[in-house]
Amino acid sequence: MTDKERTIIKLEDDEAALVMDSDGNVGIYFPDMDDDDDVPDHVQLIAAIAAIATTDQEIMDLIWKKFYEAANEVN
């Protein structure tokens, strides 16, 4: 990590977040859970998105294509 100052974002106990920096590094932040707890769907989704974003360029290309198509529909 560089010496740049970090912004602190506090998540609620039931929230999860995906953070990506300009270098493409991905961080996943999720609530503390016990080992025998079921992982909530929204936490699984964040993990899946992170895995895809860092390993599957074909799907990422499709996501960007869909994003630009949706953005053009708004304009």
> Where in the chain are the domains?
17-74
Q: Which residues contact 9 (CB under 8 A, 6 or more apart)?
A: 17
Distance CA 65, CA 5 (A): 33
- The angle, 0 to 180 degrees and rounded to 10, between the axes of the packed helices 41-55 and 57-74 is 110
Average pLDDT over residues 61-72: 94
Residues 14-64 pLDDT 10s: 899 999 888 888 889 988 889 999 999 999 999 999 999 889 999 989 999
Phi and psi angles of residue 34, each rounded to the nearest 5 degrees, phi first? -75, 155
pLDDT at 4 over 80: no
Give me the pLDDT at residue 74, please: 78
Give the span between the Cα atoms of 18 and 43, in whole angstroms.
10
